[in-house]
Chain A
Amino acid sequence: QSVLTQPPSASGTPGQRVTISCSGSSSNIGSNTVNWYQQLPGTAPKLLIYSDNQRPSGVPDRFSGSKSGTSASLAISGLQSEDEADYYCAAWDDTLYGPVFGGGTKLTVL
């Protein structure tokens, strides 16, 4: 059971906009920033969004993050086939005194 809650799956067609939600609590998302990771099949996770809505160099601006209260969202616009991957949210947890992850959302591009 993951500390952060994500839907197990999401899907969209090429060109569409999809969003993935991440729900937490006051000890994690409610008081700390959220990060998102993309894990392509058979590879290591890659940082996609940090500090709620910041993109590392090289990440397309099709990817965006937002946060409100104890929930966060990842939006992907102009969906492409290469976006098919698992997406994980994460945040520092003040109770655990460590980072916690969501269970992951498998994105399928139809």
Chain B
Amino acid sequence: QVQLQESGPGLVKPSQTLSLTCTVSGGSISSSSYYWSWIRQPAGKGLDWIGRIYTSGSTNYNPSLKSRVTISVDTSKNQFSLRLSSVTAADTAVYFCARGHYGSGTFWFDPWGQGTLVTVSS
């Protein structure tokens, strides 16, 4: 079964760029019909979708973050990555990667990675 695992620095300084990688195992990231997504959750709060990428490289981002977000995919390594620039304390959250299933009028995430806490602090 497909599993996802996030990796990257747990501490980022304000104004710098947050970089995370999600490694997919148990299946190919190049499989059709799936979108690969990033979602975040500030402590004690709800879930916020950051963006998604298809294996072709096409992306969609949450408009609230679009100017600062880049999601990329490396099919040779079965990984996809998140870069979030100009971070502030408001970007402190647990970051999840997830596989997105897309169909006409429907989109859901399954499975999810375990999540990784990123703290923005000097």
Binding site for B on A (CB under 8 A): 2, 31-33, 35, 37, 43-47, 50-51, 56, 88, 90, 92, 96-104
Which of B48, B110, B111, B115 has the most chain A CB atoms closer than 10 A to its own CB? Answer: B110
85-122 of chain B: CB within 8 A of chain A? 96, 100-101, 103, 105-115
Say whether A99 contacts B46, CB under 8 Å.
no
Binding site for A on B (CB under 8 A): 46-49, 51-52, 60-63, 96, 100-101, 103, 105-115
Given contacts A2-B46, A88-B46, A98-B62, whether A44 and B106 have CB atoms under 8 Å apart is: no
Say whether A88 contacts B47, CB under 8 Å.
yes
Say whether A45 contacts B49, CB under 8 Å.
no
Complex Cα distance A104/B103, Å? Answer: 24
Say whether A100 contacts B49, CB under 8 Å.
yes
Complex Cα distance A96/B62, Å? Answer: 7
Specify the chain A residue showing the minimal Cβ separation from B94. Answer: A44
User: Which residue of B51, B63, B96, B105 is within 8 Å of A45 (Cβ)?
Assistant: B96
Complex Cα distance A101/B41, Å? Answer: 11
Within the complex, the shortest CB–CB distance from A28 to chain B, in Å, comes to: 10
Say whether B48 contacts A96, CB under 8 Å.
no
Given contacts A88-B46, A101-B48, whether A50 and B108 have CB atoms under 8 Å apart is: yes
Question: Which 3 residue pairs spanning A and B have beta carbons closest together?
Answer: A47-B110, A33-B106, A35-B108
Q: Which residues does chain A contribute within 8 Å of B48, judged by CB atoms?
A: 101
Say whether A31 contacts B105, CB under 8 Å.
yes
User: Which residue of A31, A47, A101 is within 8 Å of B49 (Cβ)?
Assistant: A101
